[in-house]
């Protein structure tokens, strides 16, 4: 399985706070941002570095380093993925942002696309998809399909919680895409919600009520 579970103690502690039934919208939003920042640090660990000559403070040339290649694009999946955006941008403030809108149909659990605005040169950029929840995996597979249609080849997925069903679907459809998650949970319930999970992440981040 192409999955990396981030087990840093801060990540585990914060995720557990998010699982509490009475976690308020404000607290959930703050924890989403904090977790995203910590997890982005781990998910970018294998970025390639290249030498880069710079002017040093005393006028001499110094052999510096920089991240190789074209700037990363972060891909939040609307809506809930927006909750992770600021945390990732804290670490990579120069990142380009490509937004994808998908709404899971509550009956069929199939993703319904409603928005797509990708940055240029997708074929040259690494992409980091962000969404708190990987449930059936339908939304993630649809997003990866969109990115690959634009030529994107270097794709990672960053989620707070993953279900085994979603990991299987993504791994089968796109074995080249590594999934980074804070937890691989037990299973999906009959409504397609992750157990134990976090509940409806979009509703918690935006303060909307789930019918
Ligand atoms: O793996 P899947 O079964 O596709 O489910 C996961 C998707 O469902 C949620 O979004 P939702 O469709 O509820 O939209 P929202 O972010 O607007 O709440 C979640 O944020 C993922 O995008
Ligand atoms: O558990 C789940 C599944 C899909 N979307 C959510 O927000 N939570
Ligand atoms: Mg939702």
Residues near 130 by beta carbon (within 8 Å), at least 6 away in sequence: 36, 74, 75, 76, 77, 81, 84, 85, 88, 158, 159
Given this model, what pLDDT does residue 1 score?
84
What protein residues have CB closer than 5 angstroms to ion ligand 3? 200, 202
* Pocket lining: 157 vs ligand 1, CB cutoff 6 Å: no
Given this model, what pLDDT does residue 96 score?
98
The residue ranges of every structural domain in the chain are: 3-45+69-206
Given this model, what pLDDT does residue 59 score?
98
CATH class of 3-45+69-206: alpha beta
Given this model, what pLDDT does residue 111 score?
98
On the CB side of 184, CA atoms within 13 Å amount to 14
Please tell me whether 29 is known to bind a ligand.
no
* Pocket lining: 32 vs ligand 1, CB cutoff 6 Å: no
Cα–ligand 2 centroid distance for 97 (angstroms): 23
ipTM over 0.90: yes
Angle among Cα 67, 75, 202 to the nearest 5 degrees reads 135
Q: Which of 171, 124, 157 is nearest to 36 (CA)?
A: 157
* Pocket lining: 104 vs ligand 1, CB cutoff 6 Å: yes
DSSP 210: P
Cα–ligand 2 centroid distance for 187 (angstroms): 12
Substitution candidate for ligand 2 out of 182, 191, 197, 211 with most atoms within 8 A of CB: 197
Among the bound ligands, name the one nearest to the CA of residue 78.
Answer: 1
Given this model, what pLDDT does residue 209 score?
80
* Ranges of the chain whose pLDDT falls below 70: 210-211
Residue of the CA atom closest to atom 5 of ligand 1? 135
Please tell me whether 45 is known to bind a ligand.
no
Given this model, what pLDDT does residue 210 score?
62
Count of Cβ atoms closer than 10 Å to residue 78 Cβ: 16
Cα–ligand 1 centroid distance for 140 (angstroms): 9
What are the tokens at 117? 């605005």
What are the tokens at 133? 């929840």
Given this model, what pLDDT does residue 126 score?
98
Residue of the CA atom closest to atom 17 of ligand 1? 79
Given this model, what pLDDT does residue 160 score?
98
Helices (H), 44-151: 82-91, 138-149
Contact 141, 172 (CB under 8 A): no
DSSP string, 125-174: SEEEEE-SEESSSHHHHHHHHHHHHTT--EEEEEEEEE-HHHHHHHHHH-
């Amino acid at each position: 399985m192409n999955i990396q579970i981030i087990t840093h103690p801060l990540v585990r502690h914060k995720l557990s706070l998010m699982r509490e039934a009475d976690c308020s919208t404000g607290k959930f939003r703050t924890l989403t941002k904090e977790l995203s920042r910590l997890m982005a640090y781990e998910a970018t660990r294998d970025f390639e570095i290249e030498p880069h000559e710079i002017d040093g403070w005393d006028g001499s040339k110094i052999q510096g380093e920089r991240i190789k290649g074209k700037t990363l694009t972060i891909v939040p999946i609307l809506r809930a993925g927006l909750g992770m955006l600021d945390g990732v941008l804290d670490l990579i403030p120069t990142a380009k942002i490509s937004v994808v809108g998908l709404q899971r149909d509550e009956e069929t659990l199939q993703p319904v696309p409603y928005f797509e605005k990708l940055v240029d040169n997708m074929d040259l950029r690494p992409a980091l998809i962000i969404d708190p929840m990987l449930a059936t995996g339908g939304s993630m597979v649809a997003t990866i399909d969109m990115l690959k249609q634009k030529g994107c080849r270097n794709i990672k997925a960053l989620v707070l919680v993953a279900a085994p069903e979603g990991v299987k679907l993504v791994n089968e459809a796109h074995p080249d895409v590594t999934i980074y998650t804070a937890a691989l949970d037990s299973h999906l319930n009959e409504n397609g919600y992750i157990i134990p999970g976090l509940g409806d992440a979009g509703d918690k981040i935006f303060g909307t009520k789930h019918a």
